[in-house]
Amino acid sequence: MKHSYPTLEPLRFLLEMIHNRAMALPDFQRDFVWDPYATDELIESIISNYPAGTLLRIKNGQQLLFKPRAFEGAPELNGAKPAYLILDGQQRLTSLYQAFYGKGEHRYYLDLASLEKGKDLEDCAFYMKADEGERKYGTIELQAHSMVFPMERVFGGIGGFSGWQNQILRIRGADTSTILDLQERLTRLHNDWIKPIEEYDFPMVTLNEETSGPAVCMIFETLNRTGVKLSVYDLLTARFWPQDFNLRQKWEEALDEKPILEEFRIDPYYILQVIALLEPGADKDGKSRAPSIKRSAILEMKVEQARAGWNAAVNGLAEALSILRDDCGVLESGLLPYNTIVIPMGAVWATQKEVTGADVGASRVKILRWFWCSVFGQKYENAPNSQAEKDFAELQRWMKGGEPPESVSEFKLEVNLRQVKPRQRAVYRGVMALILQNGALDFHKRGKITSQLLADKRNPVDDHHIFPRTYLDKRAVSASLRDCIINRTFIDRITNRRLSKRAPSDYFTEIQTKQGEIETNETLRSHILPTGTQSPLLDDDFEKFLDWREQALLNIIRQKTKN
């Protein structure tokens, strides 16, 4: 039996179906996650008539295979039964619906005046926060003055571009000659830049209503897709839903109960990987499998495994993140050296729930040492899934009194901190976390740097140069040394602006004058920076500073790894 048929579907009609509640999403689909930059890029691709991938939908028959929900920003279903459910293409269609119907947090525009002058499309297509766009281009008069076209008028406004064009002609057309000239220009702009959107077609694969759940999952796996791909988590959500185990609901409950999961932007797929370590299941012969977190193993997960391991996995992962935050200075997801490292850590901690008394502290000491050895030994650079499986088995053995993991017993500190820059993510983030774990104080207010300060939009604390970039450039210091981890710490925006091009001796003396010598030294020590009258910071001696701080950082790494 033929399950599907391909067609070309006009973008205009697809968005109308979304708006009219004739097309929706299955409830298990993830939330809309695209940032406005991705939407802007997609709009540019469509204007350029580039392929934007195939869409997949299923015809909604009498037997409801998936519970429907509206696209984000579209009218709620309120009992309406959509004719189709989009299975692949949610992110693309949501972004285009919001852009061309004026929904969501951002508004999208096309600078027609700049296009007329021959500027590149990528410089003329732009977006703004909705309230900012309303202030700048919210009336037809403002649009006429700037010759900026709001994309929401393409499909979401009355009369589309031609209706907008008529309004512009009435406002800017002083006489017949002006009107005719402007009309010709606008018609040319429409043909070149708007018409491609109006006439854009998406390749669509439509599954008929008789398509079974397993067949849908198989098609998910094999269809060539673009945009945000349907993940293994999405596939298992679809597979488990008819078996009364709603992974989407379970994940939402986990986020409510364990806010740290959301704070660290944990992918729900990690929960499934932790479950795979805790509940490996059995093979076809009924023999227990070796724990595996590879994609193929997760795809074979049974609903019984998910049920049995879900709570332990959620609790273990949340506890592991708490340890990283409280004991390791990993205050946010951007400081996590490796994402995969939380999987064996969460699984092992889940196995420690029966441990009591001083043994809890002993387990914590071991897992902390393993974490730092893994980070500075760069154990997760290659084949991270295999490393996680290996570490889980070896950590369990160690927790029970056996030999330590190989990543601990064979650890050698071989990193050259003078070569570590942001692109060396693991070691770089590991050192920055050590600085926070050392109790780094805010230079501006002298409060301890917290995740709240890191996220403060008014005066965010971020990773900046200690010897300012411009100061070093003028002294012909190489970019590699200038930008290395040794010359970085957490500095708030206000202080960083004050540092600007100044010599360290200048700005640190200023801080000392205002805050006091004892207090300034305390702040410097909290950032693992030299203090005292012989400090290279006060002598503006960059080479001596590098020597001093390199050794100080290496000593702390040795303490953490017990090397």
Calculate what percentage of the chain has a pLDDT beyond 70: 93
9 within domain boundaries = yes
- Is residue 227 in a domain? no
Q: How many helices (H) and strands (E) does the chain have?
A: 30, 11
Which alpha helices (H) appear in 210-288, and where do they start and end? 213-222, 232-240, 247-257, 259-263, 268-278
Report the alpha-carbon distance of residue 13 to residue 83 in Å, rounded: 13
Q: Is the pLDDT of residue 447 over 90?
A: no
Lowest mean pLDDT among 75-89, 252-266, 358-372, 537-551: 75-89
Residue 341 belongs to a domain: yes
Does the pLDDT of residue 219 top 70, yes or no? Answer: no
pLDDT tops 50 at residue 222: yes
pLDDT for 156: 82
Identity (one letter) of the amino acid at 347? A
* pLDDT of 484 higher than 90: yes
Lowest mean pLDDT among 295-299, 370-374, 521-525, 553-557: 295-299
**172 domain-assigned:** yes
Q: What is the pLDDT of residues 398-436, one digit of tens each?
A: 999 999 999 999 999 999 999 998 877 889 999 999 999
- pLDDT band at residue 542 using 50, 70 and 90 as cut-offs: very high
Are 392 and 454 in the same domain?
A: no
Q: What is the pLDDT of residues 347-362, one digit of tens each?
A: 999 999 888 899 899 9
519 and 535 in a single domain? The answer is yes
Place 226 in a pLDDT band, splitting at 50, 70 and 90.
Answer: very low
Q: Which residue has the higher pLDDT, 37 or 410?
A: 410
The answer on 430 and 386 residing in a single domain is: no
Residues sharing a CB contact under 8 Å with residue 560, sequence separation 6 or more, in sequence order: 368, 369, 372, 434
Largest CA distance in the chain: 92
Regarding whether 134 and 81 lie in a shared domain, the answer is no
Same-domain pairing of 385 and 489: no
Q: How confident is the model at residue 220 (pLDDT cuts 50, 70, 90)?
A: low
Banded model confidence at residue 311, pLDDT cuts 50, 70, 90: very high
- The confidence band for 225, taking pLDDT boundaries of 50, 70 and 90, is very low
pLDDT computed for residue 1 by the predictor: 45
Closest CA to 275 of 442, 392, 188, 370: 392
Tokens matching residue 359: 């043994």
Instruction: Say which CATH number the domain at 79 has.
Output: 3.90.1530
Same structural domain for residues 379 and 456?
no
Q: Is 489 a member of any domain?
A: yes
191 part of a folded domain: no
Domain boundary among 369, 386, 409: 409
Residue 462: φ, ψ to 5°: -140, 175
C-alpha to C-alpha distance for 510 and 497, rounded to whole angstroms: 14
Which DSSP letter does residue 379 get? T
What does the mean pLDDT of the chain come to? 89
Predicted pLDDT of residue 403: 97
**pLDDT value of position 329:** 96
- Asked, for residue 251, whether it belongs to a domain, the answer is yes
Given 177, 210, 230, the domain boundary residue is: 177
Q: Which of 165-179, 292-306, 469-483, 538-552 has the highest mean pLDDT?
A: 538-552
- The answer on pLDDT for 224 being more than 50 is no
| Per-residue confidence (pLDDT) for residue 282, from 0 to 100 | 67
Residue 470 lies in a domain: yes
pLDDT tens for residues 137-155?
999 999 999 999 999 999 9
CA distances (Å), origin 231, targets 53, 154, 267, 294, 496: 17, 32, 10, 13, 41
Amino acid at 473: D
Global pTM value: 0.64
Mean pLDDT of all residues in 483-510: 86
Residue 490 has pLDDT above 70, yes or no: yes
Contact of 267 with 233, CB cutoff 8 Å: yes
- Going from the C-alpha of 514 to that of each of 347, 446, 501, 509, 555, the distances in angstroms are 49, 12, 20, 9, 31
What span, in angstroms and rounded, lies between the C-alpha atoms of 527 and 492? 13
Instruction: Mark whether 254 and 401 lie in a shared domain.
Output: yes
Q: Residue 69 sits in which domain range?
A: 4-102+200-222
Higher model confidence: residue 403 or residue 462?
Answer: 403
What pLDDT is attached to residue 47?
94
> pLDDT by residue (tens digit) across 7-32?
899 999 999 999 999 999 988 777 88
CB 161 within 8 A of CB 154: yes
Domain co-membership, 63 together with 149: no
Residues 86 and 153 occupy one common structural domain: no
- Per-residue pLDDT tens over the stretch 177-202: 788 889 999 999 999 999 999 999 99
Both 311 and 399 in one domain: the answer is yes
Question: What domain count does the chain have?
Answer: 4
The answer to which of 7-16, 455-464, 549-558 has the lowest mean pLDDT is: 455-464
**What whole-number distance in Å separates Cα of residue 168 and Cα of residue 415?**
63
Q: What is the mean pLDDT of the segment spanning 382-397?
A: 90
Residue range 70-76: mean pLDDT, rounded: 94
3-state secondary structure of 180: helix
Check residue 231 and report its DSSP letter. -
Identify the band that residue 502 occupies on the pLDDT scale cut at 50, 70 and 90: confident
Q: Model confidence at 123, in pLDDT bands (50, 70, 90)? A: confident
- Do 322 and 427 lie in one domain? The reply is no
**Cα distances (angstroms) measured from residue 317 to each of 197, 262, 274, 395, 410:** 45, 12, 8, 15, 26
Given a cut of 80, whether residue 510 has pLDDT beyond it is yes
Same domain, 447 and 364: no
User: Which of 409, 430, 450 is the last residue before a domain boundary?
Assistant: 409
